[in-house]
Amino acid sequence: MLLKNYKFKFKLFPTSMFVITFCGFIILGFWQIDRADQKNNINTNYTDRQQEAPIVLDKFNVLDEKSNLLWRKVEFEGSFINKQNIILDNQIFNQIAGFNIITPFKIKGSDSIVLVNRGWHPNLKNREMLPIINEIVGERLLLGHVAGFPVSGIKLGKNNIETLNSQIFRFQRLDILELNYFFSANVMPYMIYLDPIIDKELYGIFKLPAPDSQKNYGYAFQWFAFAITLLIIFIRLSLTRKSNGK
């Protein structure tokens, strides 16, 4: 079957729809590539900062811009505020629902408070049960790294804060203005993930700040495959055999 025996026959509406859809698929493909590249740049920045020497977080630099401290290893000294523990709800790890246990920490010599993520715990059998949160008394010198507040899953109910007992409060999300009001203190707009974890019952779950870039490349391939498939179908439907003598 020779191509010279065929001719293209275009109709305005099908051709317009093909052009719009084809261009849409191509744009979506390049958008997914751009998303993957952005994630890779963020992760590279994270890895580079993890290689730098730890920062001693004290009263002089605790107020630094979050962007200066983000993902840096830190050494910090002070004491936990054991009577205001936070359970951050709806945190997924390895496709298992659970929660993060967070305890505020007062930096030595400062009025500032940082939230310390002590680790992840799988959900208990029912929501009425409470985890055992060990009190950590006295001044402690700890290690960790700085990150933004974790993203919560589905918000349950209208209220963000639920009082479980006099020392444990369940949060659906972390909002800096709400935290300042709740603790009646100046709470830093970042969190410290302990490394190593000091509670043997908990799991350290911090991962790359922008994971799954390979998924975006996979999505890009799919969009480009859709575009090529659509192009083949359009060409096939647009080709008609020439009549004899023409």
Read off the pLDDT of residues 74-93 as tens digits, 9 standing for 90 and up.
Answer: 999 999 999 999 999 989 88
Whether the Cβ atoms of residue 127 and residue 77 lie closer than 8 Å to each other: no
Per-residue pLDDT tens digits for 193-210: 998 999 988 998 877 777
Together in a domain, 103 and 147? yes
Q: Which of 194, 222, 237 is the last residue of a domain?
A: 194
Number of domains in the chain: 2
On average, the pLDDT of the chain sits at 87
- What is the structure's pLDDT at 242? 66
Is there a domain that residue 177 lies in?
A: yes
Long-range Cβ pairs for the range 121-130 (8 Å, 24+) = 121/201, 121/202, 121/203, 122/93, 122/96, 122/97, 122/98, 123/96, 123/97, 123/98, 123/99, 130/164, 130/165, 130/168
Asked if pLDDT for residue 153 goes beyond 60, the answer is: no
Residue 166 lies in a domain: yes
**Domain check: are 107 and 170 in the same one?**
yes
In a domain, 140, yes or no: yes
Which pLDDT score, from 0 to 100, does residue 156 have?
58
**Structural domain that includes position 157:** 77-194
Q: Which tens digit of pLDDT belongs to each residue from 28-69?
A: 999 999 999 999 998 888 888 888 888 888 888 887 777 788
pLDDT of residue 241: 67
Asked if residue 203 is part of any domain, the answer here is no
- CA dist., res. 246 & res. 242, Å (int): 6
The percent of residues above 70 in pLDDT, for the chain, comes to 91
pTM to 2 decimal places:
0.77
